[in-house]
Amino acid sequence: MALAIDLGQRGIRTCVVDRNPQPPQIPKGQNLTQRTAEHFMAWHCEAELRAAHPLPPGAGIGGMTMYGSLLSEYHLDWFNRASVARYYHTANARLPQYKTEAVLRARAAEIDAITLMYGWTGESVAQDDSGTRLGIRNLTMGETAEIDSTYLVGADGSRSKTREAAGITETEQSHDRLMVLLVFDSDALHRLLQRYPDKAIYKVLHPDLDGYWLFFGRVDHGKSWFFHAPVPAGTTRDNYDFADLLHRAVGEPFDLDITYVGFWDLRIARADAYRAGRIFIAGDAAHSHPPYGGYGINTGFEDARNLGWKLAATLQGWGGDALLDSYDAERKPVFASTARDFIGRYIEKDRAFLRAHTPEKDGAAFETAWRDSQSDTWDVDRFEPHYEGSPIVPDSAGSPSAIGQHDIAARPGHHLAPPVAGLKGLTATFGEGFTLFTPDPDTARALKQAAERLGVPLATPEAPPEWFEAWQAPLVLVRPDGFVAATRAPENADAFAAMLARACGRTAAA
């Protein structure tokens, strides 16, 4: 849905085929980062996102880690995204995925270029040199149809039919754990946790689980909750006492009403390619992992923002042959790093701690180790996906990665931070093409003319000198997705044109 909006706003005719007439009412994908909220600004529905799930006064969206049980005396703040708020153009958000999707569906319905086909499912996928063909079936009436398109993107989940039909293989790392997802109502648990009014997610580390989490999350800050936990192999809805599991995880009995029971396998999987000819995959179809840290939905949205402008540029004629290939080159290593350096690190770090320390063995040593192992903000501070070394990012070296360093300085391949704290509206200048910030109006005019000769859309908004002092750059060229393409002042208009051509995938990397 996000990708359709990204394309439709650019006038690209797009059809969305979705088997669900309404978003499934399962509370997943709730933690939206500041970067994801920036996407909603770009899609012109951030206000609707904020209004979709209002929080009561005093309610927060922070996290907490506990040892042993939810009501343990050992607890520390965890996953505080506020520590990086200065580097983004808006605040993070928290709401169930079905409410997020409702916002996107409403926005998509406003865009004439988007055709929405709810209640249909993909049945077959084919492609040739001129385009793709998707066979679809209506799940209610059984009617069939075919859709011809120039490109096809499968955002159809971790068991993607599109990925399989395109012949794209995936590499899987199984943790051999069956996980349960419970959704339940409990006023009693809300009352028990009023001691932590600014928290909405809680991970519990239990020594018997060897680094795997018991994970609670609020849905509505009053009554509804979700819970993930490992369960024995062979567990079904009918042969296990889930209420007892919840009581043990909390640390005491409490009244509850379970409304949903689902299961999933704890695994990390990544497609070996994100593109096969005219077919692309995005979101869980390209990468899947346990819901540790809220990376899944945010990574999928970034896929959409990365791919959207590249498809549009190619269809509009100003994107070069290398541009669509850069989607794989940029996004695939970022997820590999996310899986290895963040999600995998969670499990390994917590496992090592639990094996080495228990309060029963040595209380003082345990408390010191507990604070040292759980109170750092490394995961938030260092999660800064970037595209250094991308084939379409001039003047950068290295490799795209999820590990970075938040900085106000503008750096090729990195997200552009606001130069002034509290600055509003800067991202509104990022249009359908590139954006050039320069302190000199004459330079802006000359370089805009060079872009026009290339046929590349380029906006040149005014920017005061102090911005460049903060960015530590003489000029800043920004891609449509808000990442910096270049910061080097070109010698002349021809040199700028060469830089821009490289950023559009029209020339190969040197």
In a domain, 360, yes or no: no
pLDDT value of residue 261: 96
Backbone angles phi, psi at 470, to 5 degrees: -70, -40
Last-in-domain residue among 319, 344, 377: 319
Backbone angles phi, psi at 424, to 5 degrees: -110, 145
Is residue 387 within 8 A of residue 400, CB to CB? The reply is yes
| CATH number, domain with residue 7 | 3.50.50.60
- Rounded to an integer, what distance in angstroms lies between the CA atom of residue 267 and that of residue 289? 6
- Rounded to an integer, what distance in angstroms lies between the CA atom of residue 411 and that of residue 396? 8
Residue span of the structural domain in which 151 resides: 2-53+95-169+272-319
In a domain, 325, yes or no: no
- Rounded to an integer, what distance in angstroms lies between the CA atom of residue 251 and that of residue 421? 43
In a domain, 143, yes or no: yes
In a domain, 485, yes or no: yes
- Rounded to an integer, what distance in angstroms lies between the CA atom of residue 32 and that of residue 299? 10
- Among 133, 256, 131, CA closest to 186: 256
Q: How many domains does the chain have?
A: 2
Specify whether 307 is located in the same domain as 445: no
In a domain, 39, yes or no: yes
Which of 416-419's residues contact partners 24+ apart within 8 Å by CB, and which partners?
416/471, 416/476, 416/478, 416/482, 416/483, 416/484, 417/86, 417/87, 417/88, 418/87, 418/88, 418/89, 419/466, 419/467, 419/468, 419/470, 419/471
pLDDT value of residue 119: 97
Specify whether 14 is located in the same domain as 120: yes
- Among 328, 21, 301, CA closest to 155: 301
pTM to 2 decimal places: 0.94
Specify whether 291 is located in the same domain as 412: no
Is residue 350 within 8 A of residue 205, CB to CB? The reply is yes
DSSP letter, residue 64: E
In Å, what is the CA distance from 107 to each residue of 2, 91, 102, 194, 485? Answer: 9, 20, 9, 36, 29
Specify whether 306 is located in the same domain as 443: no
Q: What angle do helix axes 344-356 and 363-374 make, rounded to 10 degrees?
A: 170
- Rounded to an integer, what distance in angstroms lies between the CA atom of residue 127 and that of residue 276? 10
pLDDT value of residue 49: 97
Specify whether 438 is located in the same domain as 299: no
Residue 298: its H or E element: helix 295-316
| CATH number, domain with residue 436 | 3.40.30.120
In a domain, 366, yes or no: no
Give the position of tokens 């249909």. 120
- Rounded to an integer, what distance in angstroms lies between the CA atom of residue 352 and that of residue 210? 8
Helix segments in 317-397, DSSP class H: 325-337, 344-356, 363-374, 378-381
- Among 78, 81, 166, CA closest to 122: 166
pLDDT value of residue 222: 82
pLDDT value of residue 361: 85
Specify whether 304 is located in the same domain as 439: no
Specify whether 397 is located in the same domain as 289: no
pLDDT value of residue 333: 97
Specify whether 287 is located in the same domain as 416: no
- Among 355, 249, 339, CA closest to 292: 339
Sheet order of strands, 279-281 included: 152-154, 279-281, 275-276
Specify whether 312 is located in the same domain as 398: no
Is residue 189 within 8 A of residue 249, CB to CB? The reply is no
Specify whether 14 is located in the same domain as 107: yes
Burial code (b: 16+ CB inside 10 Å, e: under 16) for 473-484 equals bebbbbbbbbbb
pLDDT value of residue 510: 42
Specify whether 135 is located in the same domain as 281: yes
Is residue 350 within 8 A of residue 211, CB to CB? The reply is yes
Low-confidence ranges of the chain (pLDDT < 50): 510
In Å, what is the CA distance from 286 to each residue of 271, 275, 282? Answer: 5, 10, 5
pLDDT value of residue 371: 85
Is residue 436 within 8 A of residue 475, CB to CB? The reply is yes
Specify whether 311 is located in the same domain as 433: no
In a domain, 112, yes or no: yes
In a domain, 133, yes or no: yes
Is residue 259 within 8 A of residue 242, CB to CB? The reply is no
